[in-house]
């Protein structure tokens, strides 16, 4: 019998990542969940026998390597990587200090580079695999007080656009997800309270992503924009 698809979701302790881990597990996948907080991913792993966990900081290549080895040993080679780990600050550029800037870029862009590079050799050997990355609608519009975040996500989009062509014909799909606002802990409580009507639920977004990730066939949705039907945040 064919083994279930093996999925690795980074930053899976909360929000979209957690919803994705649970949705992939419900769809019958074997799921590796990672994030810096061991306590959070332990709770996610407790929700399904199909989920294994490993603490991992995507800013650190040794940590990424260890997490990958653990997932492969427990579940088998990764078929779908979901680059989801991400951070932001809601500050104008002049108020964004260098530590914040570096953390955002190193997580949202550097993390995509490290995790993707980690899983790709096996995918290329097997001529099979999907790299899914959670970008942001910030790359399509202009949200003030988000310059470092927008730069990091736009950088990741550029990296993945080039990678997609480098992998063309090798059996690997590169899928970029571009969500509008999602009601998660990434947003300040005041925004979550006042604008809940224009924020998506993480589990609804997760269902869209799981469907696209598991789709077989000769066509691929390379870029998926998902927004609330009623429109975007009033920033
Ligand atoms: P969230 O609940 O804050 O989730 C972010 C996750 O990333 C957390 O589990 C966090 O866990 C993990 N993380 C942060 N830094 C990490 C690191 N260095 N290494 C490993 N894991 C790390 O927010 P979310 O909204 O679900 O965000 C998930 C992704 O969606 C992000 O990439 C975000 O940019 C993107 N996104 C969000 C929205 C939105 O409106 N919420 C819209 C578009 C795109 P630990 O702290 O335990 O590491």
Quick: pLDDT tens for 57-100: 999 999 999 999 999 999 999 999 999 999 999 999 999 999 99
Arithmetic mean of pLDDT, 41-58: 97
Q: What is the pLDDT of residue 115?
A: 99
Q: How far is the CA of 225 from the centre of ligand 1 (A)?
A: 18
* Position 2 confidence tier, pLDDT thresholds 50, 70, 90: confident
Ligand 1 pocket member 35 (CB < 6 A)? yes
* Position 235 confidence tier, pLDDT thresholds 50, 70, 90: confident
Ligand 1 pocket member 150 (CB < 6 A)? no
Closest C-alpha among 104, 43, 34, 101 to residue 68 = 34
Ligand 1 pocket member 181 (CB < 6 A)? yes
pLDDT digits (tens, 9 = 90+) for 127-141: 999 999 999 999 999
Do residues 38 and 109 touch, judged by C-beta distance below 8 A? no
* Position 231 confidence tier, pLDDT thresholds 50, 70, 90: confident
Arithmetic mean of pLDDT, 7-33: 98
Ligand 1 pocket member 95 (CB < 6 A)? no
Task: Provide the 3-class DSSP secondary structure of residue 176.
Answer: strand
Average pLDDT for the chain: 97
Arithmetic mean of pLDDT, 30-50: 97
How many other CB atoms are found less than 10 A from the CB of residue 69?
12
pLDDT, greater one: 166 or 232 = 166
Q: How far is the CA of 209 from the centre of ligand 1 (A)?
A: 16
Q: How far is the CA of 186 from the centre of ligand 1 (A)?
A: 7
Ligand 1 pocket member 13 (CB < 6 A)? yes
* Position 233 confidence tier, pLDDT thresholds 50, 70, 90: confident
What percent of the chain lies above the pLDDT cut of 70? 100
Whole-model pTM: value is 0.98
173 vs 25: CA distance, rounded Å: 21
Q: How far is the CA of 147 from the centre of ligand 1 (A)?
A: 17
Question: Who's near 114: CB < 8 A, 6+ residues apart?
Answer: 58, 59, 60, 61, 64
pLDDT for residue 1 is more than 90: no
CA angle 165, 167, 171 (to 5 degrees): 130
Token pair 């977004």 is found at 205
Q: Tell which CATH architecture fits domain 6-226.
A: 3-Layer(aba) Sandwich (3.40)
Q: How far is the CA of 88 from the centre of ligand 1 (A)?
A: 8
From residue 151, alpha-carbon distances to 88, 108, 133 in Å are 11, 9, 15
Q: How far is the CA of 70 from the centre of ligand 1 (A)?
A: 21
112 vs 58: CA distance, rounded Å: 8
Q: What is the pLDDT of residue 232?
A: 84
CA angle 121, 124, 128 (to 5 degrees): 125
Ligand 1 pocket member 134 (CB < 6 A)? yes
Question: Who's near 32: CB < 8 A, 6+ residues apart?
Answer: 6, 7, 8, 9, 51, 52, 53, 54, 67, 70, 71, 74, 75, 78
pLDDT digits (tens, 9 = 90+) for 184-208: 999 999 999 999 999 999 999 999 9
Task: Provide the 3-class DSSP secondary structure of residue 235.
Answer: coil
Residues in the chain: 235
Domain ranges of the chain: 6-226
Q: What is the pLDDT of residue 188?
A: 95
227 vs 224: CA distance, rounded Å: 10
For a substitution probing ligand 1, which of 8, 11, 177 has the most ligand atoms within 8 Å of its CB? 11
228 vs 197: CA distance, rounded Å: 9
Do residues 199 and 215 touch, judged by C-beta distance below 8 A? no
């Amino acid at each position: 019998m064919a083994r279930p698809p093996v999925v690795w979701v980074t930053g899976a302790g909360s929000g979209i990542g957690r919803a994705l881990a649970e949705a992939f597990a419900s769809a019958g996948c074997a799921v590796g969940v990672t994030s810096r907080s061991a306590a959070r991913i332990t709770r996610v792993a407790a929700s399904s026998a199909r989920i294994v966990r490993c603490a991992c900081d995507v800013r650190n290549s040794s940590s990424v390597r260890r997490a990958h080895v653990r997932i492969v040993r427990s579940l088998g080679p990764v078929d779908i990587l979901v680059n989801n780990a991400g951070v932001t600050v809601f500050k104008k550029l002049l108020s964004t200090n260098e530590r914040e800037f570096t953390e955002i870029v190193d997580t949202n862009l550097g993390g995509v580079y490290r995790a993707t590079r980690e899983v790709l050799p096996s995918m290329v050997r097997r001529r099979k695999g999907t790299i899914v990355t959670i970008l942001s609608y910030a790359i399509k519009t202009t949200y003030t007080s988000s310059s470092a975040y927008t730069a990091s996500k736009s950088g990741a989009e550029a990296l993945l656009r080039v990678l997609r062509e480098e992998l063309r014909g090798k059996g690997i799909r590169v899928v970029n997800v571009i969500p509008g606002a999602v009601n998660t802990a990434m947003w300040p409580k005041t925004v979550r309270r006042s604008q809940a009507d224009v924020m998506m639920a993480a589990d609804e977004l997760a269902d869209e992503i799981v469907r696209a990730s598991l789709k077989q066939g000769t066509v691929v949705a390379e870029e998926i924009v998902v927004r609330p039907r009623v429109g975007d945040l009033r920033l």
